[in-house]
């Protein structure tokens, strides 16, 4: 029996898990469906060197293929590149070296997109993928969290309500 194609949200969860298993940092998804209509999500991750970004991308491809049966429609970049892209049509994965990520600043370019960050370290007894700022597993991927809850949580972290500027967020966590 042929596997049913996973939802975009299921793909994002699988991609988060694969990227984190290969020690990708600053893994985030951007909800793009309402902004461009060509894809549902961008997933953005960072690797420390070109070999690591290649390993991250290879693990994402392997994990998505084995768990869902889905292959990327396209892959751009390879060994020695500072940016590799996997296009799963409804999810586009961007894996960068830090300098390239800083240069292209996709989160800033698409700042209107809702951002969902992957946890980089799992708490005991929880999964490490798609956890929201409140600690609820995958809540933002499965349903919308009321804006008042997000605004409240952001203000508690010192982040102005509605701000998704990664530079501001990075300084508030430092």
Per-residue pLDDT at 158: 42
Asked if residue 2 belongs to a domain, the reply is no
- Asked if residue 154 and residue 133 are part of one domain, the reply reads no
Per-residue pLDDT at 120: 59
Asked if residue 91 belongs to a domain, the reply is yes
Tell me the CA end-to-end span of the chain in Å, nearest whole number. Answer: 50
3-state percent helix, strand, coil for the chain, nearest multiple of 5? 40, 20, 40
Task: Tell me the per-residue pLDDT of 24-41, one tens digit each, with 9 for 90 and over.
Answer: 999 999 999 999 989 999
- Asked if residue 134 and residue 52 are part of one domain, the reply reads yes
Q: Which two tokens stand for residue 54?
A: 């290649």
Asked if residue 95 belongs to a domain, the reply is yes
- Asked if residue 160 and residue 79 are part of one domain, the reply reads no
Per-residue pLDDT at 143: 40
Tally of domains in the chain: 2
Please state, as a whole number, how many other Cβ atoms lie within 10 Å of the Cβ of residue 91. 26
Asked if residue 12 belongs to a domain, the reply is yes
Instruction: Tell me the residue range of the domain where 96 lies.
Output: 8-143
Q: Which residues pair with 84 in a beta bridge?
A: 95
Per-residue pLDDT at 1: 53
Task: Tell me the per-residue pLDDT of 124-151, one tens digit each, with 9 for 90 and over.
Answer: 333 444 433 333 334 444 343 333 333 3
Backbone angles phi, psi at 84, to 5 degrees: -120, 135
Q: Give pLDDT < 50 ranges for the chain.
A: 121-174
């Amino acid at each position: 029996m042929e596997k049913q194609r996973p939802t975009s949200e299921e793909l994002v969860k699988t991609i988060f898990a694969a990227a984190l298993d290969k020690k990708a940092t600053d893994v985030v998804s951007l909800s793009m469906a309402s902004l461009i209509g060509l894809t549902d999500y961008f997933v953005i991750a960072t690797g420390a060197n070109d070999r690591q970004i290649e390993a991250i991308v290879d693990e994402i491809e392997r994990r998505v293929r084995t768990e869902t049966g889905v292959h990327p429609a396209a892959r751009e970049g390879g060994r020695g590149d500072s940016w590799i892209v996997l296009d799963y049509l409804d999810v586009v994965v961007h894996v960068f070296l830090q300098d390239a990520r800083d240069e292209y600043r996709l989160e800033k370019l698409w700042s209107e997109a809702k951002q969902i960050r992957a946890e980089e370290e799992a708490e005991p007894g929880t999964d490490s993928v798609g956890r929201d700022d409140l600690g609820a597993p995958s809540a933002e991927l499965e349903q919308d969290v009321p804006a008042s809850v997000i605004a409240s949580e952001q203000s508690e972290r010192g982040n102005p309500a509605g701000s998704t500027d990664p530079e501001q967020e990075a300084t508030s966590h430092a």
